Structure 1
């Protein structure tokens, strides 16, 4: 189990630099780039992946390895 974040005000996507403004040509609608952040208990980002486009998925095995390194 792990926590997920609801970011309906887009505060976090803006802070982390993964905002996609005017998504799909919709003026004023900001979505998030597909991204994965692995953050340790101290709040330090230990791994970051940002997709080149919304259709590209991360290497889930690599994400799992990064999470395992936190233990």
Structure 2
């Protein structure tokens, strides 16, 4: 039996397809190290998929990264994640889940605020994380596909993301 309630989330004014992805700089973690990197720096290398997810260790993050790995997206496009987890937690998640992607660390949840996808956690005063969201962004920084959760937990339409990747 599932031991959680599905929670409806408030409406947002998040960026949509056709709009510029808000730029930000945060520590970007891979399997070896981390460094402050901006989204625009990553786009210099080509288009990408930006996946916002709950903190590392939460089951939605695990399911998300398992799906990305199984679909082999990182063979075709840069895939980067973002959560409130620390660089240390990201390194552990990358190692444990065999993630072939880099993860932005945003403990203060400022990037989610920029994207208007903040999820205030029930029962935790002053604690928030990004709601699950996916943005496919072209080399120029224009969002080509957007999905933002309207309830928690929720998972993106992986087939729709793949279709958007194929159209780049």
With the shorter chain as reference, the TM-score category is 0.7 to 0.9
The CA deviation at 1:41 is: 0.8
Higher alpha-carbon Rg: 2
Give, in whole Å, the separation in 2 of the partners of 1:50 and 1:24. 19
Give, in whole Å, the separation in 2 of the partners of 1:35 and 1:47. 11
Counterpart position of 2:63:
none
The answer to which structure has the higher helix fraction is 2
Secondary structure of the residue aligned to 2:156 is coil
Give, in whole Å, the separation in 2 of the partners of 1:67 and 1:9. 30
TM-score, length-scaled by structure 2: 0.38
Over residues 5-59 of structure 1, what are the superposed CA-to-partner deviations in whole Å (9 max), with x where a residue is unaligned?
42223121111110112x1220110111111111111111111101121222111
Aligned residues: 69
RMSD of aligned Cα (Å)? 1.3
5+ long unaligned stretches in structure 2: 1-73, 83-103
Q: Structure 1 stretches (4+) deviating beyond 4 angstroms?
A: none
Counterpart position of 2:147:
49
Give, in whole Å, the separation in 1 of the partners of 2:160 and 2:115. 20
Q: Which has the higher relative contact order, 1 or 2, with Cα contacts under 8 A spaced 6 or more apart? A: 2
5+ long unaligned stretches in structure 1: none
